[in-house]
Chain A
Amino acid sequence: MMQVLIRFLVGGVVVSAFAVIGDLLKPKSFAGLFGAAPSVALATLALTIISDGPAYAAIEAHSMMAGCIAFFIYVSIVSWIMMRYKVKALWVTICAIPLWFAVAFGLWLIR
């Protein structure tokens, strides 16, 4: 339970820090780079290596590559839909989440 709490706090701080950096930057396309910052990965991998060792973290990093491809497809589709159809950001970003799951787990299954 304590480890979950530590992960929550560290993750919250790291993710918020990258989000604030993104808020500060202009133009928007450049600030968007920070929307794909490795904030969750940084917090998770640091804590994982300390608790479970580098071999465990390497397996996570390997799977993360599939997650990255899924993230790329997810944000590209979200961007295109918002630009083309001017749909509310919250709707598109939430409704497209299953796409991330489909691509990430699809790649993981065929690896």
Chain B
Amino acid sequence: MLIKINPSALKQTKWHEYLVRFAFGGLITAAAGIIARKFGPEVGGLFLAFPAIFPASATLIETHETEKKQKKGLKGTVRGRNAASVDAAGSALGSVGLFMFAVIVLHFIGGHNLWLVLAGAMLGWLAVSVLTWMIRKRVL
């Protein structure tokens, strides 16, 4: 299956939807820092993989897919929920990459350049996520 970039998808998103994701992302990042200060980095670290904007993103996908179908005169409810479900399945694959990100940071952060380690961890996340996605596509 081909991976495509669809710029028109940006027009579907309303300004308040961008604002909600910005606010949730900002809040959880700030909260992770506060929790780490109050309860220590062991507890704070858990929140680095908290599904902060996942409910907002899943709702957004459901709404947009439903609206698309409704423009064609269909109800679109089932289509919207299926699309959100498929997106969530993709996120499950992405979480394998997220684990790799944590592993790379854990093993290389001591004694190496911060930005190089974070860039390497990002590459690790992307590579493992895409590879997992490709394997799943081939198997199913």
Contact = CB atoms under 8 A, between A and B. Distances in A.
Given A33-B97, A58-B106, A9 B26 contact: yes
Contact of B55 (A46, A94, A104): A94
A11 B6 contact: no
Nearest to B5: A24
A8 B92 contact: no
B68 interface: no
B95 A61 contact: no
B33 A59 contact: no
Contacts of B83: 28
Interface residues of A, number: 85
Contact of A65 (B54, B103, B114, B122): B103
B81 A100 contact: no
Nearest to B12: A23
Contacts, number: 315
Q: Among A10, A12, A36, A70, which residue has the most Cβ atoms of chain B within 10 A? A: A36
A33 B45 CA distance: 21
A89 B97 CA distance: 24
A11 B26 contact: yes
A56 B103 CA distance: 15
Given A28-B61, A36-B97, A100-B51, A83 B85 contact: yes
21 contacts: A4-B33, A11-B28, A16-B18, A24-B10, A32-B86, A32-B87, A32-B91, A36-B98, A38-B48, A40-B32, A40-B48, A46-B118, A48-B36, A59-B40, A59-B41, A60-B41, A60-B48, A63-B46, A65-B102, A89-B81, A97-B51
Interface of A: 3-5, 7-16, 19-20, 22-50, 52, 54-72, 74-76, 78-80, 82-83, 86-90, 92-94, 97, 100, 104-105, 108
Interface of B: 1, 3-7, 9-10, 13, 18, 21-30, 32-34, 36, 40-55, 57-59, 61-62, 77-78, 80-99, 101-103, 105-106, 109-111, 114, 118, 121-122, 125, 129-130, 133, 136-137
Given A13-B25, A63-B42, A93-B58, 19 more contacts: A8-B26, A19-B57, A27-B3, A29-B137, A35-B54, A37-B94, A44-B33, A46-B118, A61-B109, A63-B46, A67-B50, A68-B95, A75-B91, A78-B58, A78-B88, A82-B88, A83-B81, A94-B55, A104-B46
